[in-house]
Structure 1
Amino acid sequence: MRAKITYLVTAAVLVFYFVLAGSRGVLLLEQGTWITVTLGVAVLILPVIGIWFLWANTRFVTRANRLAVALEAEGGLPVDELVRTEGGRIDRDSADAVFARRKAETEDAPDDWRCWFRLAVAYQDARDTPRARKAMQRAIALHENKPAGV
């Protein structure tokens, strides 16, 4: 719940920033000189990119959460079996062992979105965010019956 609140607050702050930056871009355009028009267009591009990025990430998180709910209903969510130090850090050997199991599971059933979801969690536990995101995208595509490369 805390993560959702943090995400919503961050999204609201970003939207406020986008509106503020967009209004400044419009003010620059209204000046009418070639330099202010150029800067105004540049300033307006940033909120457009930001809104697209926020939308894409919100869509990704929503879909990933939908998969988590479905997997939880089936009783298939991965169990946290990682060994942690006294300070709470994940033991690297423990993470590697879990990752190896998840990787083998995914290789055995490459068309099962559940395996890709659990592999994404293992990647995230190993702090490999790019691979975690790609594995989760694969899980989402398989769950939504989309072609493999999507």
Structure 2
Amino acid sequence: MTSRTGFFVLSGVLALVALICVGEGVQLIATGKPLGVGLGLCAFVIPVIGIWFLRQTVRFGRDSERLARELEAEGGLPVDELKRTDGGRIDRASADAVFARRKAEAEAAPGDWRVFFRLAVAYADAGDVPRARKTMQHAIRLHRTTGADATATGGTGTDRPARSNA
């Protein structure tokens, strides 16, 4: 099952669960008992949380794909230079070497979303998906603050000074 197919299947399941929760919530509120009304109102919160999570996931996927298309147009997508085992798995030492190089690039250019995009890919290749996601989110934030200005002016987005957290 591809990621996209899995996403649509889980989205459908979420919609079904949301409908069931709302239906059960209405029935609980209709009892008129304080506990039933309280549980019924809580049943309305579950679909809201699920829909919010789904929205965030769709937004993240859309934004990261947009960055990938932009990098591809610039010729800056990371090249797959990883060594693989006979079974097709990524060689850990190879992934660590690429990761170290990408991390050094990100430290050298902390305001460039492109290096953080490539670092996120390196994290994913190394098997650290939570850090890959956080790093991609950072790249998306950097693109929003520097990429839009650079696109409008024809610059690269790296000529702006990095913002200080102090």
TM-score (norm 1): 0.90
Q: Which has more radius of gyration?
A: 2
Give me the whole-angstrom Cα distance separating, in 2, the residues matched to 1:21 and 1:88.
43
Query: 2:107 corresponds to which residue?
Result: 107
Query: 2:35 corresponds to which residue?
Result: 35
Query: 1:83 corresponds to which residue?
Result: 83
Moved more, 26-35 or 7-16: 7-16
Query: 2:135 corresponds to which residue?
Result: 135
Aligned ranges 1:107-126 → 2 under 5 Å: 107-126=107-126
Residues paired across the two proteins, number: 149
Alpha-carbon deviation of 1:3? 2.6
CA distances 1:84-134 after superposition (whole Å, capped 9, x unpaired): 212222211111001001001111111111100000011111121221111
Moved more, 38-47 or 106-115: 38-47
Question: What letter is aligned with 1:21?
Answer: C
Paired-residue identity, %:
55
Give me the whole-angstrom Cα distance separating, in 1, the residues matched to 2:111 and 2:27.
52
Alpha-carbon deviation of 1:76? 0.9
Query: 1:6 corresponds to which residue?
Result: 6
Q: Is it true that 1:63 corresponds to 2:66 in the alignment?
A: no
Give me the whole-angstrom Cα distance separating, in 1, the residues matched to 2:112 and 2:137.
13
Moved segments of 4+, more than 6 Å: none
Alpha-carbon deviation of 1:64? 0.7
Give me the whole-angstrom Cα distance separating, in 1, the residues matched to 2:51 and 2:108.
39
3-state secondary structure, aligned to 1:83: coil
Structure 1, unpaired ranges of 5+ = none
Q: Is it true that 1:46 corresponds to 2:46 in the alignment?
A: yes
Give me the whole-angstrom Cα distance separating, in 2, the residues matched to 1:12 and 1:64.
23
- Two-structure CA RMSD over aligned residues (Å): 1.9
Alpha-carbon deviation of 1:5? 2.9
Give me the whole-angstrom Cα distance separating, in 1, the residues matched to 2:31 and 2:70.
54
TM-score (norm 2): 0.82
Alpha-carbon deviation of 1:15? 1.6
Give me the whole-angstrom Cα distance separating, in 2, the residues matched to 1:62 and 1:16.
24
3-state secondary structure, aligned to 1:22: helix
Alpha-carbon deviation of 1:10? 1.9
3-state secondary structure, aligned to 1:106: helix
Give me the whole-angstrom Cα distance separating, in 1, the residues matched to 2:73 and 2:111.
20
Give me the whole-angstrom Cα distance separating, in 1, the residues matched to 2:112 and 2:120.
13
Structure 2, unpaired ranges of 5+ = 147-161
